[in-house]
Structures are given as C-alpha cells and as structure tokens.
Structure 1
Amino acid sequence: MTWRWEYDPDEEHVIGGAPPAFVAEVEKKADELVRAASAFYLDGTGYREQDPKGGVAHVPGGFLNYQVIPRHECVYVLQVTYL
C-alpha cells in the first residue's frame, strides 16, 4: 500500500463549489501532509496504537480539518473552510 489522501466522505461534500485556486492550495497541503505522515509512520499498515488526533492546516484563503489514519496509510480531508 502507498500513502495517499482522500476527501471524506467525498470531494463534492467537502470542497464542492470552492474556487479552483483554493482547491489547488488545499490539495497541495494534503500532499504535504501525506509526505509528513509517510515519514513519521514508516510502517503504517502495521501501526497498532491509537490513531493520532486530527488537525487543522491553514492554506491561503482558509483552512482544512484532516485526520491521519496510519493503518489505512491515508490522510482524510474532512472539512474545508474558504474564507
């Protein structure tokens, strides 16, 4: 398995209707979060501890709420706020 990120529950629900430039910033930040998580959880699928707390990441024009699930090797983007 390889680390990735996803909108949860889906893209339309989380970020639908946001300006394309803002969506690009959110997806760029999600890529950064995936790189960080993959470096921190080297064997994500073998991770058996409690999942880390969710986080908030700021991007130009707003912010996003996310959750890292090491066993899934995935960063889930849960909510996006465009200001």
Structure 2
Amino acid sequence: MSWSWEYLPSEELVAGGAPAAFLTAIEQKAIEQKATELVRVAEALHLDRTTHEGSGEPMRYLDVAGGLVAYYVVPRLELVVICQVTPPPA
C-alpha cells in the first residue's frame, strides 16, 4: 500500500455549496498540495503502520486560502481523510 488522501464521504458532500472560486483555489493548489504534504508527514510519522494501535489521530484543521480544511489520518489504511471544507467568510 502507499499513502493517499480522499474526501469522505464524497467530494460533493464535503465541498458542496462552497463558492466555485474558493473550491477552484483549493482543489488546484491548496488541498492537493496540502493533502500531499499531509500524506508525506503521515507516512514519516507512521513508518510501520502495521504496529499502530488505536483509532488514529484526532481531527485536525488546516488554514487554506482563508478557509479551513478538516482532516484526520488513518495509519492502518495509509490514508489522509479530508472530511470538511469551510470557505472563508463572504
């Protein structure tokens, strides 16, 4: 397996309703770059994911383009899950 990231439950439910310009900025730059960075960090912190015990890390928040992205890491699945995208105030 190799580390990756995804929206949960789906991109439409996580990011739906946010302004198109904000989502474009996030998807093209911020989320993919930040998620890739999160994946690298998670991979480094959990070199041997098979020895990980427990439910994983708590929910974390990342400031992206004036908005927030909520995510958590699932070491056993080698996965960073993005579960909420909050656009900046209008």
Q: TM-score, normalised by structure 2?
A: 0.82
2:43 is the alignment partner of 1:38: yes
2:86 alignment counterpart: 81
How many residue pairs end up in the alignment?
Answer: 83
Query: What residue ranges of structure 1 are gaps of 5+ in the alignment?
Result: none
Q: In the TM superposition, what is the alpha-carbon distance from 1:54 to its structure 2 partner? A: 1.3
Question: Aligned partners of 1:27, 1:61: CA distance in 2, in Å?
Answer: 16
Query: What residue ranges of structure 2 are gaps of 5+ in the alignment?
Result: none
Q: In the TM superposition, what is the alpha-carbon distance from 1:27 to its structure 2 partner? A: 2.0
1:57 alignment counterpart: 62
2:27 is the alignment partner of 1:23: yes
Question: Aligned partners of 1:22, 1:62: CA distance in 2, in Å?
Answer: 9
4+ aligned runs moved over 4 Å, structure 1: none
Q: Please give the per-residue CA displacement for 1:27-46, whole angstroms capped at 9, x wherever unaligned.
A: 21111111100000001244
Q: TM-score, normalised by structure 1?
A: 0.88
Q: Please give the per-residue CA displacement for 1:5-41, whole angstroms capped at 9, x wherever unaligned.
A: 0100011111235431222212211111111000000
